[in-house]
Amino acid sequence: MSRLRKDKEALLFAASTLLLVLGGVAWLLSDATLASVLWIVGTVLGLVFSAVTTVRAVMRREPTVDVIAVLALAGALAVNEPFAGAMITVMLASGQLLEARAAARARRELSLLVERAPRTARRRIEGAVVEVPVDDVVLGDRLLVGTGEIVPVDGRLLSTATLDESALTGEPLPVERLAGDDVRSGVVNSGPPIDFFATAIAAESTYAGVVRLVEQAQASSAPFVRAADRFAVLFVPFTLVLAGATWALSADPVRAVAVLVVATPCPLLLAAPIAIMSGLSRAASVGVVIKGGGALERLAGGRVMLFDKTGTLTLGHPVLSDVVTASDLMDADEVLRLAASLDQVSAHVLASAIVTGATRRGFVLEMPEEVEEVHGYGLQGIVGDHRVKLGKASWIVGDVAPPWVRQVHRRADLDGSLAVFVAVDDEPAGVFLLEDAIRPDAPRMVRALRMAGITRVVLVTGDRADIANMVGRIVGVDTVLADCDPAEKLTAIERESEHGATIMVGDGINDAPALAAASVGAALASRGATASSQAADVVLTVDRVDALADAILIARRSKEIALQAVLVGMGLSLIAMVAAAFGLLPPAVGAVVQEAIDVLAIGIAMRAVLPGKIHTIAMPAADIALAVRLRAEHDAVLPVIEQIRSVADALSTHDCDLDPVSTLLDRLEGELLPHERADEELLVPLVGRALGGTDATVAMSRTHAEIEQQVSKLRRLLRGLDDETVQPEDVVEFRRLLYGLYAVLRLHNAQEEEDAFSLVPGGAANAPAD
Known catalytic residues are: 308
Give the Cα separation of 338 and 193 in Å (integer): 27
Q: What is the bridge-based pairing of β-strands 538-540 and 288-290?
A: antiparallel
In 3-state terms the chain splits into helix, strand, coil percentages (rounded to 5) of 60, 15, 25
Asked whether 320 and 434 are in contact (CB, 8 A), the reply is yes
Entry field: residues in the chain: 770
Give the Cα separation of 254 and 617 in Å (integer): 58
H helices then E strands: how many in the chain?
30, 22
- State the number of CA atoms in the 13 A half-sphere of 738 facing the CB: 26
Give the Cβ contact number of residue 106 at 10 Å: 26
- Alpha-carbon Rg of the chain, whole angstroms? 34
- State the number of CA atoms in the 13 A half-sphere of 166 facing the CB: 9
Cα–Cα distance list, 13 to 10, 72, 178 (Å): 5, 18, 54
Residues whose CB is less than 8 angstroms from the CB of residue 646 and which lie 6 or more positions away in sequence, other chains included: 324, 325, 332
Direct distance between the N- and C-terminal alpha carbons of the chain, in angstroms, rounded to an integer: 54
Cα–Cα distance list, 229 to 48, 105, 233, 235 (Å): 23, 22, 6, 10
Q: What is the bridge-based pairing of β-strands 319-325 and 175-177?
A: unpaired
Classified as helix, coil or strand, 250 is helix
**Phi/psi-derived region of residue 31, left when phi > 0, alpha when psi is between -120 and 50, beta in every other case:** beta
- Amino acid letter for position 220: S
Asked whether 561 and 310 are in contact (CB, 8 A), the reply is no
Q: Nearest 5 degrees, angle CA 541-CA 689-CA 627? A: 55
Residues whose CB is less than 8 angstroms from the CB of residue 174 and which lie 6 or more positions away in sequence, other chains included: 162, 163, 164, 190, 191
Give the Cα separation of 252 and 585 in Å (integer): 13
Asked whether 497 and 515 are in contact (CB, 8 A), the reply is no
Cα–Cα distance list, 49 to 9, 20, 58, 367, 709 (Å): 10, 16, 14, 72, 82
